[in-house]
Structure 1
Amino acid sequence: MEQIHPELRQMANRIPKFSVTSGNLWLWRFLTNLRGVTKTPKDIQIQNIFIPGKDGKTKIRLRVYKPRSMPGLVPGLVWLHGGGYVMGRPEIDDLACIQFVRELGIVVISVEYRYAPRHPFPTPLEDAYTALQWVNSHGRQIGMDNRIGIGGESAGGGLAASLAQLAHDRKEIPLTGQLLVYPMLDDRTSIRDDLPKAEIMSWSPISNQFGWEAYLGQKCGMENTPAYAVPSRRTDLSGLPPTWIGVGTLDLFHDENVIYAQRLKEFGVECELHIVRGAFHGFDAIAPKARIVQEFQMSQIAALRKFLFSVKQNFIDPELSIRDE
């Protein structure tokens, strides 16, 4: 069994062993919401924008990060937070989104999509697509041109992968690339019985099975999975945008991430797979100062730079209401 990377061992020992279940979901949501909002740096502007949902009644919050000083219109990244499809909020990724803005000078739009079990598939995906449509048509008002990438981590990475598939098929919004940080791609992983014990660290098979079943509204591994619900179930991956996938060797999602990357390449999709030896799920949040974490983050920055900086076009300029922080 592979050992935890030396740079991560000390912090790994402090991680509580837990599983998310229907019985304690309220507690994990409470603890997640306790995580304080990052103080806004002087060089970054953070705004909360509320847009209409697909039903015309729901309001979807977009948390927008951009440089205080912008030379003109810049590319944008639509970001989807993690949380196993059952919890989370944009603020948990404040630091990552701020880093993207600071390093690249782009606009990041983090989506507060609704999640399961109250809002199972397809609601979270449709919320994400509604946000993508809004960015595509209103981006100029937040300083964007039409270069749009998508990304996310964990369940947000899985949702981003589904969003790329949906956008490809609807042919309404071209994407420059997708950044998938240890994405949650395959419900069948949760019913495997051959995973080494170390792989359950920080996100267990029990948590994974609960998250998928809450999202799908059915048992994991069933054949009649709806289209776009489980990204890895899609048979034809051709035509998807250039992709970056990053995952640790001790991550529960390692195998499904590697397989998805290989399949993308087989279908002619440009895909970079960044594997971190001895790293577990969420390792970058646990030890942000570690060298391997910084290398992991710089690989993402390099991929986004490659994806996003291409030919510009213009947006229409409709009205909206923005609240600054």
Structure 2
Amino acid sequence: MPYQLHPEIETTTRLFSELTKDQPRPALHDVESRRRNFAAFHALGGDRSGASDVTVVKYTTETSDGYALPLHWYARQGSTPRAGPAVLYFHGGGMIIGKVSEFHASISAYVSRSGVPFLAVDYRLAPEHPHPTMVEDAYIALTWLRDHAQELNVDAHRIAVYGDSAGGGLAAGLNLLARDRSFTPPIAKQILIYPMVDDRPIVEDKELTQFLIFWDYQDNITGWGALVGKENVGTENVSEYAAPSRAKDLSNLPSTYIEVGGLDLFRDQDIEFARRLAAAQVYTEFHLYPGLPHGFEGVGVGTKVLKGVMENRIRALQSF
């Protein structure tokens, strides 16, 4: 049977494809055009005001090279005075796109529904800031959250990392780095939403191509080339902290929740990453959602399938 979109998102997905069919695809390694396209797509969105019961406080922390790294603390109003869990959050964008403000609505919705506060990180992007800047920014943010746990009413033993797409790859790389640096207390959980974890070339599936509306093969090569250098993509010069699938040892990592759609470019690498985590005796929960493409939230608003996905994510957020 050929690939099929989930029936609940078929109409909206095809409508989006029709609306964008005349928009020229950026050339390979054209980062700026991809950023403009993302900004234009973001501008088409609906209400971006976020949940009314969530407040945001902005902080900064200085990195080793003197950069003031922006941090955004999202917390639900009226939270319990007892120290509880917190999430360190990394947005998606293929290593080259995005900032926390563009994900404000979804972050605040997670916080409102789960009751778990998020520290969202405006990590620096490639190619202006190639590896290891991104993962080092993540590590600095993790350290800041631990060191400020008491004033933020956080239990430092209950800090999880959460990331979407490129942010999921960054979260997975951070877990490897924190493990190898003996970070304490250890990270409690990692929640990886269709994570971008492997720089090695993906064999093109021509039947899948029509469903890659948010991130395709050329986008992927562009993102990895920006992060690790065009000449290094797919070679042994790429660090496991940039591309976590390259890690030979996945043991002693935190409990993991990982999901991906059946029509996602990252499907096979995420299935394999989850398999290897489980084989390394990491407590792993994995979901493969049939008929869903990468970034399906953008075309699945109001559907039962998206409601089910969100229920699983909220449960994961309340599990550590």
Give the structure-2-normalised TM-score.
Answer: 0.90
Q: In structure 1, how many angstroms separate the alpha carbons of the residues matched to 2:267 and 2:48?
A: 30
Matched residue of 1:224: which SS?
coil
Superposition deviation, residue 141 in structure 1: 2.1
Q: Is the contact made by 1:79 and 1:108 (CA closer than 8 Å) also made in structure 2?
A: yes
CA displacement at 1:250 relative to structure 2: 0.3
> Which of 117, 141, 159 in structure 2 is aligned with 1:131?
141
- Residue in 1 aligned with 2:234? 221
Q: Secondary structure at the match of 2:285?
A: strand
Cα deviation 1:117-149 (Å, max 9, x = unaligned): 100110011111100000010122223221100
Which structure is richer in relative contact order (CA contacts within 8 A, separation 6 or more)? Answer: 1
1:230 corresponds to: 243
Aligned to 1:322: none
Aligned to 1:318: none
Output the CA distance in 2 between the equivalents of 1:150 and 1:201. Answer: 27
Note if contact 1:38-1:91 (Cα within 8 Å) is conserved in structure 2: no
**Alignment counterpart, residue 183 of structure 2, candidates 162, 172, 175:** 172
Q: Does 1:103 align with 2:113?
A: yes
Offset of residue 25 of structure 1: 3.4
Letter of the aligned partner of 1:205 in structure 2? Y
Q: Distance in 1 between matches of 2:206 and 2:134?
A: 29
Match of 1:62 in 2: 71
- Between the aligned partners of 1:231 and 1:19, the Cα distance in structure 2 is 28
1:162 to 168, 173, 176: 173
Give the secondary structure class of the aligned counterpart of 2:148: helix
Given the superposition, is the C-alpha separation of residues 259 and 26 from structure 1 closer, same or farther in structure 2, using an over 3 Å criterion? closer
2:300 corresponding residue in structure 1: 287
Equivalent of 1:153 in 147, 159, 164: 164
Q: Please say if residues 262 and 291 of structure 2, whose CA atoms lie closer than 8 Å, have aligned partners that are also in contact.
A: yes
* Equivalent position of 1:90 in the other structure: 100
For the 8 Å contact 2:50–2:109, the answer to whether it is kept is no
In the alignment, is residue 77 of structure 1 matched against residue 87 of structure 2? yes
Q: How far off its partner does 1:100 sit?
A: 2.4
Unpaired segments ≥5 residues, structure 1: 309-325
Q: 2:235, 2:211 → 1: CA distance?
A: 24
Partners of 1:37 and 1:91 within 8 A in 2: no
Residue aligned with 1:4, SS? coil
Distance 1:298 1:227, change over 3 A: same
Report how many aligned residue pairs link the two structures. 305
CA RMSD in angstroms, aligned pairs only:
1.9
TM-superposed deviation, 1:61: 0.8
Q: After TM superposition, give the deviation of residue 274 of structure 1 in Å.
A: 0.9
Distance apart, 1:227 and its partner CA? 3.5
Give me the TM-score of the superposition, normalised by structure 1. 0.88
Query: Which stretch shows the higher mean deviation, 250-259 or 31-40?
Result: 31-40
Q: Deviation at 1:74?
A: 1.9
Distance in 1 of aligned mates of 2:87 and 2:47 = 20
Q: Distance in 2 between matches of 1:32 and 1:79?
A: 22
Aligned counterparts of 1:295 and 1:130: Cα–Cα separation in 2:
34
Deviations 1:193-248 (A, max 9, x none): 34532342321100000000100113421122124111101011000101111111
SS state of the match for residue 3, structure 2? coil
Question: Is 2:88–2:159's contact at 8 Å kept on the other side of the alignment?
Answer: yes
Q: Is the 8 A contact 1:114 1:127 kept in 2?
A: yes
> Can you give the 5+ residue segments of structure 2 that lack an aligned partner in the other structure?
none
Shift of 1:40: 4.7
1:99 Cα deviation from its structure 2 partner: 2.5
Choose the corresponding residue for 2:280, options 241, 249, 267.
Answer: 267
What are the within-5 Å matches in structure 2 for residues 186-265 of structure 1?
Answer: 186-188=198-200, 190-194=201-205, 196=207, 197-219=209-231, 220-265=233-278
Code of the aligned partner of 2:265: L
SS in 2 for 1:279: strand
**For 1:31-57, what per-residue CA distance to the aligned partner results, in whole angstroms no more than 9, with x for missing partners?**
3674688325432111111111222x2
Q: Which position in structure 1 is the counterpart of 2:37?
A: 28
